[in-house]
Amino acid sequence: MKSKQRALAEGQEQDAVILRYSTEELEAVTGASEAELFSFVEYQPEEAERVGHSEYSYWKSVWKSFLKKKSAVVMLIIFLTVFVFSFIAISPLCTKYSHYSELKSSRSNKFATPDSEYWFGADNIGRDYWYQVWYATRHSVMLAAIVGVGEVLVGVVMGLLWGYVRKLDRIFTEIYNIIYSVPTIIYMTLIALMIGKTFLVMCVSLIAFNWIYTAKSIRNLVFMYRDREYNLASRCLGAKLGTILTKNILPYLISVVILRMALSIPQTIGYETTLAYLGLLDVKEPALGLLLRNSREHFINYPHLLIFPAAIVSLITVTFYLAGNAFSDAADPRNHV
């Protein structure tokens, strides 16, 4: 109809374009007779009400808007590929070893550069580096994931309380100051000395010293949402604190929570490397941090020992960070159309 309109828009006058349609034209366009066209239609108020609705599901929309961001999808695919591949790479498909303990040193192969047998070369005592790197990848990603999830869980619960219960503000602020103003390394060292440094202890202590940052950002958000009218409404309707926190506030924090997760994985792997450097890491099984630390002894002469784990670490952290960021954007309903 538009082109038609344009074509007819010749008798221009001021203020508005005044068009004239002849009956023939109208009938041609609409396929209805003049009488039909110019008769009143029964008014349907329900139809009016219905206008503009669509089927909406929160998570579907999250996915939809996430999938729209092609680069983020690519990042997620890379991340997942790397993670899944860390399982495949140490499966019989790619390697002859079935367990880490089967890796054997070999004096003739030490510092071997990558070749068809040793895809990532061999380390300083001649062990296959491919297997080690992928094994470590899996290990580190799991650690990071556990810490990330744990940190976010604790952080969210505490953050909600911190933000909503005014009496607790002082205490939490003090805790924040205590954790924030003393380098985490002190705590980590003390814990390693006094308790140990098993995988479990690592997870728990990393969570113990990082949740506060999540909690802090959650708290700031809760401050934003706390006095929104819908919370007042819930209070008028007799909602308990727990209900308000879980039903009214928590759902709004999803995107922030995801963002924290996205940040915490690179952060955890970063911590891992620092802890390995300080000797605060369990050495039973290789972690990426451990490989990176070990490679520091040799990387000047044998760069492949640094490059492979570094590349994979970077790949994981960067892709997860980007994908996480995009997902966090997508989780924000303001970005749903």
Partner 1 sequence: MNKNEKDAILSGRERNVILSARDVEVQFSLRGDRLTAIRGCSLDLYEGETLAIVGESGSGKSVFTKTFLGMLDANGSVTGGSILFEGEDISRFKTEKEWKRIRGGKISMVMQDPMTSLNPLKRIGVQVEESIRLHQGLSGAEAKREAIRMLDIVGIPDPERRYHQYPHEFSGGMRQRVVIAIAVACRPRILICDEPTTALDVTIQAQILDLIRRLQEQFSMTIIYITHDLGVVANVADRVAVMYAGQIVEIGTAEDVFYNAWHPYSWALLSALPQLGIKGKKLPTIDGTPPNLFNKITGDAFAPRNRRAMAIDFKVDPPFFEVSETHKAKTWLLDPRSPKVEQPASIRQLSERMNQDYGSGLKHPHQDPNRVPVITVKDLQVTFGSGRKKFVAVDKVNFEIYKGETFALVGESGSGKTTIGRAITRINPATEGEILFKGERISGKISKEVDQKVIRGIQMIFQDPLASLNERAKVEYIVSEGVRNLKMCKNSAEREELVQNALREVGLLPEFASRFPHEFSGGQRQRIGIARALIMKPEFIVADEPISALDVSIRAQVLNLLNELKGTYGLTYLFIAHDLSVVRFISDRIAVIYKGKIVELAEAEELFRHPLHPYTRALLSAIPNPDPAIERSKKLLVYDPAQHDYSEDKPVWTEILPDHFVYGNKQELNQYRGML
Partner 2 sequence: MKKVLALVLAAIMILSLAACTKNNNTPSPSNSGTNPPGNSSNPAGPATPAVEEVKDWVHYLTQVNEMETFNILYSQANKELQVLTNCIDGLLSNDSYGNLVPGIAEKWESADGGKTWTFTLRKGVKWVDVNGNEKADCVAEDWLWGLEWVLNFHKNAAANTSMPIEMIAGAGDYYNYTKDLPEAEGKALGIDKLKEMVGIEATDDYTLVYTCVDRLPYFPTLTTYNCLYPAAPALIEELGVDGFLACTNENMWYNGPYVLPTFVRENEKVMTPNPKYWNPDCKRFDSVTYKMVESGAQAYQMYENGELSYVELTEDALNTIYQDAGHMFNEKLVEARPTKYSYQIHLVFNKNQEDGETPDDNWNKAIANEAFRLSLYYGLDAEPYLARINSINPLKCANFCYTMSNLVNFSNGQEYTERVMELLGITPSTEVYARYDAEKAAQYKKQAMEELAAQGVTFPVMIDYYISGSNSTALDTAVIFGEMISENLGDEYVKLNTLTYVSSLANEVRKPRKASIFINGWGADYGDPQNYLGQETYGEDNAYYSTAYSNANDITDEALIAVYKEFTKMVNDAKNITDDMDKRYEAYAQAEKYMMEHALCIPWYVDVHWQLTQVNDYSKIYAPYGIQTNRFVNWETSKDGYTTEQYDAFAAAYAAGAGK
Partner 3 sequence: MTPSRQPTRQGPANNETSMIKYTIKRLLQSLLTVFIVVTIVFLLLRLMPTDYYFTEDELIKLTDEQKEDKLRAAGLLDPTLTQLGRFYFNLLTKGDLGTSRRISNGQPVLELIGEKFGISMRMGLIALGIALLIGIPMGILQARYKNGIFDHFGTAYTIFINAVPRLVAYSLIYMLGVKVFKLPSMYSVRDPMRTSILPIVCLAVGSIASYALWMRRYMVDDLTKDYIKLAMIKGVSTRDIMFKHVMRNAFVPMAQNLPVTFLLTIGGSLLVESFFAVPGMGPLLTRAITRYDTNVVQALVLLYSGLGILGMFLGDLLMSLFDPRIRLAGKGGETR
Token pair belonging to 132: 């080690």
Among 141, 257, 292, 323, binds partner 3 (CB under 8 A): 292
**Interaction pattern, residues 115-134, with partner 3; x per rule: CB under 8 A:** --------------------
Q: How far is CA 307 from the centre of its chain?
A: 26
* Rounded-to-integer distance, Cα 148 and Cα 203, Å: 9
Among 154, 199, 296, 332, binds partner 2 (CB under 8 A): 296
Tracing tokens 């202590």 back to the chain, one arrives at 205
- What is the sign of the dihedral through the CA atoms of 320, 200, 183 and 138? negative
Q: How far is the CB of 295 from partner 2 (least distance, A)?
A: 9
Which part of the chain contacts partner 1 (CB under 8 A), choosing from 54-62, 105-113, 171-179, 275-283? 54-62
**Interaction pattern, residues 162-201, with partner 2; x per rule: CB under 8 A:** ---------------------------x--xx---x----
Token pair belonging to 125: 């005592």
Q: Which long-range contacts (CB under 8 A, 24 or more apart) does 90-97 make?
A: 90/131, 90/134, 90/135, 90/138, 94/130, 95/128, 95/130, 95/131, 97/128, 97/131
Judged by CB under 8 A, does residue 56 bind partner 1? yes
DSSP-based three-state secondary structure for 12 = strand
Token pair belonging to 87: 């399982």
Note the residues at the interface with partner 3 (CB under 8 A). Answer: 174, 177-178, 180-183, 185-186, 189-190, 193-194, 213, 216-217, 220, 266, 269-270, 272-274, 277-278, 289, 292-293, 295-296, 299-300, 303, 306, 310, 313-314, 317-318, 320-322
Residues in touch with partner 2 (CB under 8 A): 104-105, 107, 110-111, 123-125, 127, 189, 192-193, 197, 277-284, 293-294, 296-302
